[in-house]
Chains A and B, each alone.
Chain A
Amino acid sequence: RKEVEQDPGPFNVPEGATVAFNCTYSNSASQSFFWYRQDCRKEPKLLMSVYSSGNEDGRFTAQLNRASQYISLLIRDSKLSDSATYLCVVNQAGTALIFGKGTTLSVSS
């Protein structure tokens, strides 16, 4: 079983749609969780950290369920500029970040 697994993509949605990405991780000792965004042929960039209580940043909401070892990212009112690959990332304390394969989102007008 892979350490971090994400929904297979791609997700093709119209502008204004709400889209949700799911991610599961295998190591129950994982302590930090993130969503990174990667544009085509560019480097990954941190989108947001994920906290146990859930957190929101504008149109983006991240949630964590430690019991189920599950992380989600919700994007509301999708924009064309949201088109990218979204990478689920986890790590244990003091260890390297482990990336999922990524889920590609394509928002069309």
Chain B
Amino acid sequence: DAGVTQSPTHLIKTRGQQVTLRCSPKSGHDTVSWYQQALGQGPQFIFQYYEEEERQRGNFPDRFSGHQFPNYSSELNVNALLLGDSALYLCASSQGGSGELFFGEGSRLTVL
């Protein structure tokens, strides 16, 4: 049974560029949440998707957007990258919105 998978694992971008990160949830899970974890900080909630809609959003600007597909996989898009967007982006899946979260290994984004 595959767990949560994310791609790419590492990537480097320059300021102003755009990035798309991808996530496949654990089998049987229908809810995907995205978190940003800066170095030395705890994960910060970006948004949560359920039934292909954004159900809840954290305190992140509109440059951060997402999508969930009918197979429950999800994408996180970040436009107009800033140096401060450099972080580990974690995808977590669950069955329903409040069940145990299972995290992927993350996508480590470096913005130069």
Contacts and interface: CB of A to CB of B under 8 A. Distances in A.
Interface of A: 4, 32, 42-46, 87, 91, 93-102
Interface residues of B, number: 20
Given A43-B90, A43-B106, A97 B101 contact: yes
A57 B48 CA distance: 30
Interface of B: 33, 35, 40-45, 48, 56, 58, 90, 97-98, 100-101, 103-106
Contact of A43 (B44, B45, B98, B103): B103
B106 A98 contact: no
A94 B45 contact: no
B8 to A, nearest CB: 15
B103 A97 contact: no
Contact of B97 (A43, A45, A95): A95
Contacts of B58: 96
A91 B56 CA distance: 13
Contacts of B100: 46
At the interface, is chain B mostly helix, strand, loop or mixed? loop
Contacts of B40: 101
A101 B103 contact: no
Contacts of A101: 40-42
27 contacts: A32-B98, A42-B105, A43-B90, A43-B103, A43-B105, A44-B43, A44-B90, A44-B101, A46-B100, A46-B101, A91-B98, A94-B97, A94-B98, A95-B97, A95-B98, A96-B33, A96-B45, A96-B56, A96-B58, A97-B101, A99-B35, A99-B42, A99-B43, A99-B44, A100-B42, A101-B40, A101-B42
**Which 6 pairs across A and B sit closest by C-beta, in order of nearness?**
A99-B42, A43-B103, A96-B45, A101-B42, A99-B43, A102-B42
